[in-house]
Amino acid sequence: MSDNQSPLTTRANPADEAVRESRHQVLRELLGAYADRELPPETTAQIDAHLIGCVQCRRELEVHDTIRGRLAAEPPAATSPALRARIASALDAIPAPVVEVAPPAVASDISHRRITWIAIAGWVTALVLAIALAMQGERVQERLGGTREIATPIHSVALLDGVLGDYDRVAAGELPGRARDLSAVRAAVSFPIEPLQAANLRLVGAWTTELRGEPAAVLAYRLDDRLVVQYLVAEDAFFRAPAVRAAVADRHLLTASVGERSIVAWPDASTGTVLVGDVPARQLRDIWITERLH
């Protein structure tokens, strides 16, 4: 977005630029819904403010408006009398469906006693569910290891250093893979690629890169209004560094942070994932938990 800065904008530091760019990408994805007035007021206000300083988003909004305006002018087809007659004949040939019409519900039909029992049954159900969830939670804890901070400085681990360098570049500029062609990425690497499953994540881009000479698949997600990037590498590349092996031993989640930037990493069947974003580590850990539960 650097070519779209307002002339009044002074050059911010790289971290601010990165935040601004990731915000631009997130808001850009919402422009269609903005044009259709389908967004809540607070998001609409954010986009209103963003549009003032972003030429690219203003242009994209014009594309949405232009297309929508033209399609809205598309006339409906005219159903011919012959088709209407055919439909009427077809319906005549079928016995009328049986539709049971219930009389309007009367409050007195349900006694206070029944209401009481329904309420109790609801509470009991909720209690049973709570117990079941607690038991499931214990089982989940058994399936998940804990988290473990990496023991050596991040920049001394080639994989993580490469990821951080690449993330800096991604966060500072356009997402290189806006084509979001996951199948092309899958075809380009030798290991399986599956996007993360967490409900609050939305895949916004996919491409390939190299991390210190190792091929990697990169999947960029929107997490609320932040950018989170997943780097997938082959398992041999993932396990190369002893510090990584030590951190993920016993099904643990490798964690690390640099300033506000959080990193987590974990191995899968034949790949390793490094997830990075300017979000609290807790959010990345929750994503990992969702993956494990899947």
Partner 1 sequence: MLATHREPSADLRARFEAVVLPHLDRLLAFAIRRSDSVADAEDAVQEACVRAWLGFGDLRDDANARPWFYRILRTVLSDAREKSGRRQQLVHITRLEETHDELLGGERDALFSEVVARLDSEAVHRALAEIPEDFATAVELHDIDGFKYIEIADIVGVPIGTVMSRIARGRKLLAGAILAARRDGAADATEVVDVGARRAMRGGLR
Smallest distance, partner 1 to C-beta of residue 68, A: 5
CA–CA separation, 258 and 167 (whole Å): 12
Shortest reach from residue 37's CB to partner 1, in Å: 10
Helix (H) or strand (E) holding 106: none
**Between 1 and 163, CB nearer to partner 1:** 1
Which range of residues in 53-61, 127-135, 210-218, 262-270 is near partner 1 by CB under 8 A? 53-61
Rank residues 208 and 255 by Cβ distance to partner 1 and give the closer one.
208
Residues 3-32 that bind partner 1 (CB under 8 A): 29-32
* Residue 3 Cβ vs partner 1, minimum distance, rounded to whole Å: 9
Residue 6 half-sphere exposure toward CB, CA atoms < 13 A: 11
Are the CB atoms for 274 and 285 separated by under 8 Å? no
Q: Which stretch binds partner 1 (CB under 8 A): 8-16, 83-91, 186-194, 241-249?
A: 83-91
Query: Phi first, then psi: what are they for 275, rounded to 5°?
Result: -115, 130
- Residue 41 interacting with partner 1 (CB under 8 A): no
Q: Which of 8, 11, 42, 79 binds partner 1 (CB under 8 A)?
A: 79
Instruction: Tell me whether residue 15 is exposed, middle or buried, using C-beta atoms within 10 angstroms of its C-beta: 0 to 12, 13 to 18, 19 or more.
Output: middle
CA 279, chain centre distance (Å)? 14
Based on the shown chain and the rule CB under 8 A, indicate whether residue 292 belongs to the binding site for partner 1.
Answer: no
Longest dimension (CA), the chain: 79
Residue closer to partner 1 by CB (options 99, 269) is: 99
* 229-288 positions binding partner 1, by CB under 8 A: none
Residue for token digits 């006693």? Answer: 113
d(CA 208, CA 224): 24
CA dist 294 and 285 (Å) reads 14
Which of 83, 124, 127, 187 touches partner 1 (CB under 8 A)? 83
Residue 20: phi and psi, rounded to 5, are -65, -40
Closest CA to 23 of 229, 172, 197: 172
Least distance from C-beta 216 to partner 1, angstroms? 20
* 186 contacts: CB under 8 Å, gap ≥ 6: 192, 193, 217
Stretch that binds partner 1, among 16-24, 71-79, 226-234, 262-270 (CB under 8 A): 71-79
- Taking the least distance from each CB to partner 1, the nearer of 177 and 272 is 177
Site string for partner 1, 182-211 (x = CB under 8 A): --x-----------------x---------
Count of CB atoms situated within 10 Å of the CB of 119:
10
φ, ψ (nearest 5 deg) of residue 62: -65, -40
Give the one residue of 12, 45, 87, 121 binding partner 1; rule: CB under 8 A: 87
Summarize as ranges the residues that interact with partner 1 (CB under 8 A): 29-33, 36, 38, 56, 59-60, 62-64, 66-72, 74-80, 83-84, 86-87, 90-91, 94, 96-103, 105, 109, 178-179, 181, 184, 202
